[in-house]
Amino acid sequence: MMNMRNLSAGFIAIVTIALLIIAHCEVSGRSPNNTLDFVIRNGKIMDGTGNPYFFGDIGVRDGKIVAVGELSDALAGRVIDASGKIVAPGFIDIHTHGEPALAEANPELRAAPSDAYQGVTTVVVNQCGGSPLSIKDQITELREKKTGLNVLTLVGHNTIRREVMGEDNKRPATDAEIEEMGALVRKGMEEGAFGLSVGLEYEPGKWSTTEEVIALVEEIVPFGGIFHNHPRSQGDFPKWYWPSIHDPHQPTLIDAVKEHLEIGEKTGATVVLSHIKARGRSFHGASEIVINLFNDARSRGVSAYAELYPYNTSGSDGRDPVVPLWLEEYKSDNENYAGLLTRLLQDPEKERDIRMDISHEINRRGGADVLTLVDHPDSELAGVTLREMAEMKGISDIDMAIELQMSGDHNILGGVSIRGFSMSEKDVENYIKQPWTATGSDGRIRVEELDDGSGHPRWYGTFPRMIRVYAMEREVITVEEAVRSMTSLPAQIYGIMDRGLIREGMNADIVVFDPERINDRADAFNPAKYSEGIDYLMVNGVLTVEGGNLTGKLPGKVLTP
């Protein structure tokens, strides 16, 4: 009779050998029954952690990363040679306004080309307080129509506030109204939202109190929800402020940041400050104060983050005219804007107000020496600053702004298209250096051929620009750190545990880009230009960009907590 100890030892040896074979199969990507769908070979893998890259291969099967390492003997249906290329997790755009395009009938828009050509695989939508009232209906529609990107939704405070308060919303909410809003926030979370977004610089959110916002954020805490905050101010005044109209005692960026951190501290929620900046010439340098406030709060245990787009020009820097927007209120039906301005300037009080507000707007948008003409009936003036034009004519900056209305297009307010650069590059770089700052485009989804060119270059270039300009050229951070800011960091903030890293078991959202060619082509004069250098993009194991070209496939998923 066989010795039982020897039998047991033999059995253990057989099991050990079997486990070693299985382990070898997993590392090599080989299995008795399956080959890999893809092997991405010979790339410089930036795994999303911020650590230095390493050379290796990645095996993908059934939409998952199943092997990372040396896979030269792996069997695969498709091999992608990434020699000389960087392989990273697909980029997560933590702040977008892509929800209208993703619900369009046109599948070309739902394929999200302006995002795909940046390497983006996942977007967070319904920002700045705006969302559908029914998150359930939105998720159902997106799943039925199918998208080229993964989508996370938020429930919007402004939407809910309008629903509860109607037109009577230019005041603090009552306790009963806050309770009703809270019920709608809970409903949105139960239907699959990841958190609450607010737009406290917009109506009707700007009329809410801190106490109202805290009460609503408390509703998302049991769900592990995220508070994403467009703050009340991003400089020395809110963007809606005009000195001739409003009380000068308005919140500054510093006040808004303190409120943001207070909400995080009092509720225990993870709080994310939208498109962090220090806007307006008189507020340049304020990033140092903001960073100190954040670091102090984080040292006390507040789960506080921010996100930014890597540009020193904002959306309204190119959308708003230099003359005050309130002129619209005085325009008659048969009057053009040049005639309107001429008429109002004849009134001494109106002239005083107009000049005061033009001076404020010039400062808010970075100063006359950076306000740059983008479009004018005289095409030779494109690229000239307001200050340069004023000096050529021997007049003041304010008079030059008035003259542009008179000499430009009489049918548009301001007469011309003029872009400001309201942020200091030093502040932009200071924020980029912070380990708690993620990359977000604050962008919309566009098709280059269908774009009228009126948007911001960040819609097309945010992620390649962060890598090319701020990591590779200026060396503000490393490329690995830039990749972290757009992969594992937003995944960590939003609790997306199966994306944002190159790891076995993760969903196969992968970008392969050429470090020699990655580049944002969009600028203030040509904002509708696809980025270049993204060779392959994979969403849930399906190629949406192949050989640098969009495939048109729609493998995205609507993610829920």
3-state secondary structure of 77: strand
Position 36, amino acid: L
Strands 86-89 and 437-439, sheet pairing: unpaired
> H helices of 133-229, where?
135-145, 157-165, 175-190, 210-220
Phi, psi of 230 (to 5 degrees): -80, 110
3-state secondary structure of 535: strand
Residue 34 pLDDT: 62
% pLDDT > 90, the chain: 91
DSSP state of 173: P
Q: Which residue has the tokens 């590392």?
A: 27
Global confidence as pTM:
0.92
Burial class (CB in 10 A: 0-12, 13-18, 19+), 497: exposed
pLDDT in tens, 448-466: 999 999 999 999 999 999 9
Burial 409-443 (b: 16+ CB within 10 A, else e): beeebbbbbbbbbbbbeebbbbbbebebbbbbbbb
Among candidate residues 49, 227, 75, 204, the one with its CA nearest the CA of residue 154: 227
Task: Please list the pLDDT of the chain residue by residue as tens digits (561 residues).
Answer: 344 334 344 433 443 334 333 444 444 434 434 699 999 999 999 999 999 999 999 999 999 999 999 999 999 999 999 999 999 999 999 999 999 999 999 999 999 999 999 999 999 999 999 999 999 999 999 999 999 999 999 999 999 999 999 999 999 999 999 999 999 999 999 999 999 999 999 999 999 999 999 999 999 999 999 999 999 999 999 999 999 999 999 999 999 999 999 999 999 999 999 999 999 999 999 999 999 999 999 999 999 999 999 999 999 999 889 999 999 999 999 999 999 999 999 999 999 999 999 999 999 999 999 999 998 888 888 899 999 999 999 999 999 999 999 999 999 999 999 999 999 999 999 999 999 999 999 999 999 999 999 999 999 999 999 999 999 999 999 999 999 999 999 999 999 999 999 999 999 999 999 999 999 999 999 999 999 999 999 999 999 999 999 999 999 999 999
Contact 236, 365 (CB under 8 A): no
Q: Round to whole Å and give the CA distance between 36 and 79.
A: 9
DSSP 3-state percent helix, strand, coil across the chain (nearest 5):
40, 20, 40
Among candidate residues 43, 34, 36, the one with its CA nearest the CA of residue 65: 36
Position 529, amino acid: K
> How many CB atoms are closer than 10 A to CB 40?
29
Q: Round to whole Å and give the CA distance between 97 and 444.
A: 5
| One CATH from 3.20.20.140, 3.40.50.300, 1.10.3720.10, 3.90.1300.10 for 89-315+423-550 | 3.20.20.140
Q: Which residue has the tokens 């893998």?
A: 45
H or E element that contains 266: helix 253-267
Q: Round to whole Å and give the CA distance between 61 and 194.
A: 28
Task: Name every residue whose Cβ is closer than 8 Å to that of residue 559 and which is 6 or more positions away in sequence.
Answer: 122, 150, 151, 152, 194, 496
3-state secondary structure of 122: strand
Contact 322, 417 (CB under 8 A): no
> H helices of 325-478, where?
337-345, 348-364, 386-393, 397-407, 425-432, 458-465
Taking the mean position of all CA atoms in its chain, how far away is CA 27?
36
> How many CB atoms are closer than 10 A to CB 466?
29
How many angstroms separate the most distant Cα atoms in the chain? 117
Burial class (CB in 10 A: 0-12, 13-18, 19+), 369: middle
Where does CATH 3.20.20.140 sit in the chain? 89-315+423-550
Token duo for residue 382: 């494109």
